[in-house]
A and B are shown apart, each in its own frame.
Chain A
Amino acid sequence: MNTDLSRFHQLFFEEASEHLSEMERLLLALDIAAPDVQDLDAIFRAAHSIKGSSGTFGFNDMTDVTHVLETLLDRVRKREQALSDDMVDALLQAGDILRAQLGAHRDGVEVDPQEAEPVLKRLRSLTEAQALLLADTPGTAISTASIPLPEFRTFHIRYTPGPDPATPLGVLIEELERFGVVSIEQEEAEHCILHLSGAVDMQEIDDIFSFIATAEQYAIEALPAKSTAVEAQTDEDDPGFGFFEPIASTEPPAPTTEDEGFGFFVDPASLQTAQKPEDKDPGYGFFTDKLPVPTPAQDPAASESHPLEMPRRRASDREVDNSIRVGIDKVDQLINLVGELVITHAMLAQTISTLDPVLHEKLFNGMSQLERNSRDLQESVMSIRMLPIGSVFNRFPRLVRDLSGKIGKQVELKLVGEGTELDKGLIERLADPLTHLVRNSLDHGIEAPEIRLDAGKAAKGLLTLQASHQSGNVVIEVIDDGAGLNRERILSKARQRNIPVSEDAPDQEIWPLIFAPGFSTAEQITDISGRGVGMDVVKRNIEDMGGRVEISSQQGIGTRITIRLPLTLAILDGMSIGVGEQTFILPLNMIVESLQPLPAQISSISGSGRVVHVRSEYLPLVALHEVLNIQPQTRDPCNGIVVILEVEGGKVGLFVDALLGQHQVVIKSLENNYRKVRGVSGATIMGDGRVALILDAAALVQLSRS
């Protein structure tokens, strides 16, 4: 291919990967028993578009795969073959292969044709098995090839390249000559009429033009051929696209469209209407961002026309058009500045509060308005970093499908609250822990179908991923209706691993044991889960994000794992504490309780410091002023406060002078301009403009031991 098509490659890559995603999404959503014809058509169209454009660019490996895939799909959508689970699997696999091929072409790497072979074989066998069955049935056409040989026809092509064509006419004609004899009826710089005679499908010509010109710059018309069938077919074939003049029409396309003919900035709304078949001037903008290349389903075998399902796609395209990409550092800078504004306001308010409100009424009114506005501003700016959690949830339908097939379980995945928004940084870090939890639920939670039936449950297990906002937190739940956690097994495993736990401890104390490192109660290790490396990592990841994990479970009924996360990484729920002259912040999610101990509760163990006796537990007592070398207000724990912290599975009592209050604080990095400080995880700016350090409880405890 000598046309300069390489500059369109990027466009092709983008579109093809969009088509692939769409295909996968639709395949996963398909109801196997009663597939929606429109969905099947949409899948077919996606595959066909990839085939058409990959062929044009000479990516023959992709054309091969899509061709086989399309053959199978075509039979399914024409009801010649029933859809099966196996088929969807094979189609998904083919999708993966296509994605790999696409990636290889994009990176300019050689593709190993062997990789596609097994999938192709599988698809072919699926198609052929059915075809053989049908062979016995008279009257059923057996066509496994989706493109029958095109008939010899003459096409009338009107092409208006415009003042500065991307591809010279000569090159174009050379390209067309691959298909047959080209004769030039009229050749002017801006308008020419060509005749092409050859055994070629109109689709193939269209493919060439669609890459070099916008839709209204060219019109291809098949002249009546020998058989009237062809004519009828052509008419029927392109019902929804309107790129082609109906044969009956003698009216030439208005050449006046030249000026606005490039359609670079056509908005999707006008496209939507422009794509109606009656419209002779579809105004298709090739360069309009993210719009699919017009490669209409032209397959003569697919003469049944179905209403197009374009509007849904258009709606999502419009969303894309309405957003801009901005570097995250710019957003963070904005958040910083707004935070400063709020602090400045607080300082001003403090100064003003000494004034007489009656004398300075206007000033006070202005201040309260400023407060409202700056809070609104802060909220809006914070919301820029928010993304719907759906972007994480979306990976699970495929995962659940693949895994449940692999381990022979039937699982239905339900996603609830995909629109729940949380910080972009959190979303990225949430994917791994959630994947662990979902795998666990599939492997250990939900039982095999026969066991479920025995237990009187439906054979198909239900796995629910649910997200919601609850009082300033994001709550994500992974719920299964499986066997539940096995109390006895966890207890015996705990004893094996010498984890001290009482036999009659409440469930709330037993379940968290599964978060201990190396703890797995799975009877046998599978390749999905059970090595005991998962749950402690999950817990640590969530805690690193400032969140908490809770488990509730009932044997035989199911398990619910709840993750609570702060709305953003940038904000932390903290308790401010005072030691000496200084104020520190402790993350609230680490604090279990705080108390003022009685002298009887404090005892010292010779050589290894003091312990505090709280609710039948002896907890090591760490004095913050000793760890941080600060002059405290009191050295007697009974005059101060002991904050019980949960740190790395154990509890410690942290002795401080006083609790000052609970705040949401904006986390700032110390490392940007300074270095990492042991025992400190970050800093924040208090209402008075001073810096307060955020303590890292785990590191503090380590510091106190050394």
Chain B
Amino acid sequence: MSNTQETAQSMADAAQYLTFTLGREEYAVDILKVQEIRGYDAVTAIANTPAFIKGVINLRGVIVPIVDLRIKFNVGNATYNEFTVVIILNVLQRVVGIVVDGVSDVIALPPEQTKAAPEFGAALDMKFIKGLGTIDERMIILVDIEKLMSSRDMELMDEALA
């Protein structure tokens, strides 16, 4: 009895994450930062920007930049078709879209199932990783998406803000 209560308690504490894949690695972002998931279409390129900034889209009247994380972290194949997925994020009062290989699931990770990340060779720099989670024996990399999006090497914001 007390065991179920404990489980219920830890489930309530559990943060919810949206998991997505980049190449063969599985990542997760805080679900509260996710605004929506949509297909990839009608992107207007912006001249003289890095290759991973695909351009801007019109999201119901708001101009939203689109970043292809596959290009940024050099994983997977940066191809665009009707199955290409864009996660629209709401970070630091900005709306940003990221292109990923695929969106898998929404998961709840209780705090005891997340661990600090050891030094390892993920595509992402360690400073953008909050920790590692485990679900069904799979390792999930928890991304500090705010830090990542506001970092200088994403070139998404003016220097003053970053």
Which residues of A are at the interface with B, using a C-beta cutoff of 8 A?
336-337, 339-340, 343, 582, 627-630, 668-680, 683, 685, 688-693, 703
Contacts of A670 in B (CB 8 A): 56, 63
Partner of A668, one of B42, B46, B61: B61
A690 and B65 contact, Cβ closer than 8 Å, known pairs A627-B47, A675-B156, A678-B48: no
Residues 83-123 of B at the A interface (beta carbon under 8 Å): 94-96
B158 A672 Cβ-Cβ under 8 A: no
B63 A677 Cβ-Cβ under 8 A: no
Q: How far is the CB of A704 from chain B (nearest CB, A)?
A: 12
Contacts of B64 in A (CB 8 A): 673
**Is B155 engaged at the interface, CB distance under 8 Å to the other chain?**
yes
Taken together as a complex, chains A and B put the C-alpha atoms of A596 and B158 apart, in Å, by 39
Give the total number of A-B pairs whose CB atoms are below 8 A apart.
74
**Is B1 engaged at the interface, CB distance under 8 Å to the other chain?**
no
Partner of B48, one of A629, A668, A669, A692: A629
A676 and B48 contact, Cβ closer than 8 Å, known pairs A340-B60, A691-B63: no
Interface string of B8-51 (1 = CB under 8 A from A): 00000000000000000000000000000000001011111100
A582 B61 Cβ-Cβ under 8 A: no
A676 and B63 contact, Cβ closer than 8 Å, known pairs A685-B58, A690-B44: no
Partner of A693, one of B46, B156, B157, B158: B46
Taken together as a complex, chains A and B put the C-alpha atoms of A158 and B48 apart, in Å, by 81
A683 B56 Cβ-Cβ under 8 A: yes
In the complex, 24 of the A-B residue pairs with CB atoms within 8 angstroms, ordered by the A residue number, are A336-B62, A340-B60, A343-B58, A627-B47, A628-B47, A629-B48, A668-B61, A670-B56, A672-B94, A673-B63, A673-B95, A674-B157, A675-B156, A675-B157, A676-B158, A678-B48, A679-B48, A683-B44, A683-B56, A683-B63, A685-B61, A690-B58, A691-B57, A693-B46
Taken together as a complex, chains A and B put the C-alpha atoms of A340 and B158 apart, in Å, by 27
Closest to A583 in B: B44
Among B42, B44, B48, B94, residue most surrounded by chain A Cβ atoms (within 10 Å): B44
| Interface size band for B | 20 to 34
B62 A673 Cβ-Cβ under 8 A: yes
Contacts of A685 in B (CB 8 A): 58, 61
Closest to B95 in A: A673
Taken together as a complex, chains A and B put the C-alpha atoms of A677 and B58 apart, in Å, by 17
Which residues of B are at the interface with A, using a C-beta cutoff of 8 A?
42, 44-49, 55-58, 60-65, 94-96, 155-158
Q: How far is the CB of A641 from chain B (nearest CB, A)?
A: 19
Closest to B57 in A: A691
Taken together as a complex, chains A and B put the C-alpha atoms of A669 and B63 apart, in Å, by 7
B56 A674 Cβ-Cβ under 8 A: yes
Beyond the given pairs A343-B58, A673-B65, A683-B63, 12 more chain A to chain B contacts, judged by CB atoms under 8 angstroms and listed by A's residue number, are: A337-B61, A582-B44, A627-B47, A669-B63, A674-B63, A674-B65, A675-B155, A679-B47, A680-B47, A683-B44, A689-B58, A691-B56
Contacts of A692 in B (CB 8 A): 44
Q: How far is the CB of A72 from chain B (nearest CB, A)?
A: 55
A629 B62 Cβ-Cβ under 8 A: no
Taken together as a complex, chains A and B put the C-alpha atoms of A663 and B11 apart, in Å, by 55
Taken together as a complex, chains A and B put the C-alpha atoms of A627 and B158 apart, in Å, by 21
Taken together as a complex, chains A and B put the C-alpha atoms of A685 and B44 apart, in Å, by 10
Contacts of B57 in A (CB 8 A): 691
A673 and B94 contact, Cβ closer than 8 Å, known pairs A685-B58, A690-B58, A691-B58: yes
Q: How far is the CB of B61 from chain A (nearest CB, A)?
A: 4
Q: How far is the CB of A384 from chain B (nearest CB, A)?
A: 17
Contacts of A340 in B (CB 8 A): 60-61
Q: How far is the CB of B1 from chain A (nearest CB, A)?
A: 50
Q: How far is the CB of A562 from chain B (nearest CB, A)?
A: 34
Contacts of A680 in B (CB 8 A): 46-47
Contacts of B95 in A (CB 8 A): 673
Contacts of A674 in B (CB 8 A): 56, 63, 65, 156-157
Contacts of B157 in A (CB 8 A): 674-675
Contacts of A673 in B (CB 8 A): 62-65, 94-96
Taken together as a complex, chains A and B put the C-alpha atoms of A703 and B48 apart, in Å, by 11
Contacts of A630 in B (CB 8 A): 47
B158 A671 Cβ-Cβ under 8 A: yes
Contacts of B96 in A (CB 8 A): 673
Contacts of A688 in B (CB 8 A): 42
Partner of A690, one of B42, B48, B62: B42
Taken together as a complex, chains A and B put the C-alpha atoms of A683 and B57 apart, in Å, by 10
Q: How far is the CB of A678 from chain B (nearest CB, A)?
A: 7
- Closest 6 pairs (CB-CB, A-B): A628-B47, A674-B65, A691-B44, A340-B61, A336-B61, A675-B158
Taken together as a complex, chains A and B put the C-alpha atoms of A257 and B116 apart, in Å, by 75
A693 B61 Cβ-Cβ under 8 A: no
Q: How far is the CB of B68 from chain A (nearest CB, A)?
A: 15
Taken together as a complex, chains A and B put the C-alpha atoms of A271 and B61 apart, in Å, by 48
Taken together as a complex, chains A and B put the C-alpha atoms of A673 and B64 apart, in Å, by 6
Taken together as a complex, chains A and B put the C-alpha atoms of A630 and B48 apart, in Å, by 10
Contacts of A336 in B (CB 8 A): 61-62
